[in-house]
Copies of this chain bind each other. A is one copy, B any other.
Amino acid sequence: MLLDDLLKSPGEWLGGAGPQADIVISGRVRMARNLAKYRFISRMDTAERQAVVDLVKSCLIARGVAPADRIFELQQVPKLDCKLLVERHLISKEHEEAPHPRGVAIGDGEAVSVMFNEEDHIRLQVLKSGMRLQETFVQAQGVDAKLDEDLDFAFSADLGYLTACPTNVGTGMRVSVMLHLPALVITRHIEKVFQAVSKINLAVRGLYGEGTEASGHFYQISNQVTLGKTEADIVANVEQVIPTIVNYERKAREELLKKDRVRLEDRVWRAYGLLKHVRVMTSDESMMLLSAVRMGVHLGILPGLDIGTVNELFLFSQPAHLQKLAGKALEAHQRDIRRAEFIRGRLESK
């Protein structure tokens, strides 16, 4: 099964490369597109939905967005593999759970992916590590242009791209950046930052998008408005605010180090000590501990540990990854034991 390949490493977006990678995990540009000749997904019957799947698939292959063996119809993908795709940010939770014909194409290195028959006929995304939204945006435009050559997109001269949900109408574009902000949480400044962000029409979400908790001190900042602005404006808008937040986080880290260095070191070492020794660990706990360790590595408190290992642990200690590594479905308590074992093993060998 090709999806097992994914277990060899995390996607490029979690590689810890790219500018400001200590705080900016990744940037993402997502475009929603619909086919002019088809009704929206929710109005279609199964045959029509399958027709869209077939049409989009052949276009993706023809235009070289993804090879045929990296395009998956999710009805044919085992449940656990679908969950794996969610954990890797390649498909949404809703897409995983939907009952109708649908799929995903995964481009090289997982940077490019295209969901078809999610909320819209097509949702393409480019996801890259670190702070490089401009480059990410250009690549997304490239994929969009390729698809546009074959497919006739629903587009109104007044409104722009038409989408199933009115909040996406216009550019159909969402730009988001995933940030790691532990020091702002510890110093209790995070709420102030988010109040400021929401005033300029940006949204704050947790690790797995809308409605999810900010597990492991990861936060996604994204644009709310897609209409009445150019794509370049939206990118610029998000790009402008991120350095401010990143600076706040840096200052909060400096403040913690200055005020009580040993207390911060203690927090990091406690997390490391637990990760290295516990026998049962929930996902929530591992995220919180890994968050402290991640900050510790970047502050030079844990010099022997490389950040790639830590970033990888965030992903591989998720439920579906753990079960795929174990080669079988596991109940929650069994996962908690495996998780502890897996993390211990990875840290031990370092």
List A residues at the B interface (Cβ < 8 Å).
262-263, 265-266, 269-270, 272-280, 337, 340
Secondary structure type dominating chain A contacts: helix
Complexed CA–CA distance, A265 and B279 (Å): 7
B279 pairs with A273, CB closer than 8 A:
no
Closest partner residue, chain B, to A263 (CB atom): B280
Q: How far apart are A73's CB and chain B's nearest CB, in angstroms? A: 40
This protein's copies in its complex: 2
CB < 8 Å: which of B263, B265, B274 contacts A273?
B274
Closest partner residue, chain B, to A276 (CB atom): B273
Q: How far apart are A317's CB and chain B's nearest CB, in angstroms? A: 16
Complexed CA–CA distance, A221 and B269 (Å): 38
B277 pairs with A340, CB closer than 8 A:
no
List residues of chain B with CB within 8 A of the CB of A269.
277-279
Closest partner residue, chain B, to A340 (CB atom): B266
Given that A262-B337, A337-B262 are known contacts, is A274 also in contact with B279, CB under 8 Å in the complex? no
Closest partner residue, chain B, to A265 (CB atom): B279
Complexed CA–CA distance, A340 and B337 (Å): 28
Complexed CA–CA distance, A12 and B243 (Å): 62
Q: How far apart are A109's CB and chain B's nearest CB, in angstroms? A: 35
List residues of chain B with CB within 8 A of the CB of A275.
273
Q: How far apart are A237's CB and chain B's nearest CB, in angstroms? A: 42
Complexed CA–CA distance, A276 and B278 (Å): 13
Q: How far apart are A299's CB and chain B's nearest CB, in angstroms? A: 13
Closest 5 CB pairs of A and B: A273-B277, A266-B279, A273-B273, A269-B277, A266-B280
